[in-house]
Amino acid sequence: MANTHAPRTGSRIRARRLDLGLRQADLAQMAGISPSYLNLIEHDKRRIAGRLLADISLALQTEPGLLTDGAERTVLEAMQRAASEWEPGLAEVAKADELAARYPGWAGLIAAQAARINALETRAQMLTDRITYDPDLATALHGVISAVTAIRSTASILTSDEKIDAEWQQRFHRNIHDDAVRLAAESDALVTYFDAPDAGAGVPLSPLEEVEAVLDACGWHLDAIEAGQPATDLSRNLRKPAQEVFDTWAAVYARDAAALPIPEVEAAIAKHGYDLWGLASALGGDLAQVMRRLASLPATAGRPPMGLVLCDAGGFPTLLKQIPDFAFPRGTACPLWPVFTALGQAGRPIISEVAIPGHPQTRLTCWAIAQTVGDAQADRPPLLQATMLVMADSAPGQGPAVPVGVSCRICPRTGCAARREPSALGTAPADPL
């Protein structure tokens, strides 16, 4: 009988057994089965599930999910992305799933270090660009040089052999004091300019990512605003540009909370489930507002995690809420995601089931809509903002789904008309879709 789980479930069991130094007969005895039956399982010739899977997992001191599904998709994608940054062939990309399943701790460490290296490299490049091209830096440096020059000039007069009366000496002293104060202010501006944000939980590279980190920490649910209070505690430690982004989002959040109070939203969910069309009809809010509200609900038992993407007409994500199995990069996302489709059909609601490559294949349900923002102007095209709500598909259909990816660089699909660049994974097998 064929294995109903992902390929290599049996090989994962065998690899884990060998890592622990167990003989096949020993593991079979611990699981209460014959060695011959275990041999068939390890060669993916027999199905394994339920109590037997739990017994084998317990004997192997691991989680059942790591044997059946392998490592979490986000860890695998991070490992593959890290491999794509190095010389092709240097890492055995095809064995990333096996490595992550056998050594999940090391896999997580590789993924975390790769993310941090990438973040630091990107920040270093940003600082290099700022030093080279940023006019604000030139202004700050000019202020420092000008203050130093003025102090030096005044000091040279005071230290010269020429006699200066008391009144002029006081003037020169005041000038030096004023220039010193100005120099201190300009120096503080330079320190602030180059001062990196706190890297305790990563390295925020932009005001948008700073804000997303704060929102991730509270699950995108702002208790203060729900209670009618400003969320100043959350934005207090943000840099000024990030505070402006946060304040803009907080204002949107406050309007959404006032229009769609949580008790009304939860009552609608109890009646319609998580059918967005039914919820929008019951709540009377526009679709984008309902999407934002669902993404900001407090996490409770039984409530599925919901991701959110806000994107401008140029396809640049302005805010991202990530959830497990949904890794949406900023700037290099697959163009087949519904949020981008919505931009070409403004005002038309889109619902789509998408499939992310992998084994087993993950399916997500996406709702998206693009709307005009701001006042219309006769001599300019309308400004658009697209909103997409993402939810794990609890009951995926059997029909075709949109074959999206994370980014072309680490996508194994072949024959994709939307591909922007060759995959760094080389000849990785194509997904069925």
pLDDT in tens, 105-115: 777 777 777 77
Instruction: Give pLDDT tens digits for 311-321.
Output: 998 888 899 99
**Contact by Cβ (8 Å): 56, 37:** no
Q: How many CB atoms lie within 10 A of CB 274?
A: 16
- Report the alpha-carbon distance of residue 335 to residue 314 in Å, rounded: 12
Nearest alpha carbon to residue 39 among 59, 7, 17, 63? 17
**Contact by Cβ (8 Å): 94, 428:** yes
Q: Which amino acid is at 143?
A: G
Would the pLDDT of 427 be above 60?
no
Is 301 buried (19+), middle (13-18) or exposed (0-12) by CB count in 10 A?
exposed
Q: CA dist 405 to 275, 302, 340, Å?
A: 24, 27, 13
**Mean pLDDT of the residues in the chain:** 78
Question: Which pLDDT does position 197 carry in this prediction?
Answer: 44
Q: Which residues of 109-144 are buried (b: 16+ CB within 10 A; e: fewer)?
A: ebbeebeeebbeeebeeeeeeeeeeeeebeebeebb
Task: Record the tokens describing residue 57, joined without a space.
Answer: 């997992």
Query: 3 pLDDT band (50/70/90 cuts)?
Result: very low
- The CATH number of 9-108 is which of 1.20.1440.130, 3.40.50.300, 1.10.260.40, 1.10.10.10? 1.10.260.40
Q: Which amino acid is at 269?
A: I
Instruction: Give pLDDT tens digits for 345-394.
Output: 999 999 999 988 765 567 889 999 999 987 777 777 888 999 999 998 75
Would the pLDDT of 29 be above 80?
yes
Q: Which positions ≥6 away from 205 have C-beta within 8 Å?
A: 119, 122, 123, 126
Cis peptide before 360 (omega within 30 of 0): yes
Which numeric CATH code is attached to 260-410? 3.30.450
Question: Which pLDDT does position 390 carry in this prediction?
Answer: 94
Beta-bridge mates of residue 362: 356
Would the pLDDT of 198 be above 50?
no
Nearest alpha carbon to residue 365 among 353, 374, 349? 353
As a dihedral over the C-alpha atoms of residue 57, residue 58, residue 60, residue 66, rounded to 10 degrees, the angle is 30
| 304 or 5, which is more confident | 304
User: How confident is the model over 275-298, as a mean pLDDT?
Assistant: 91
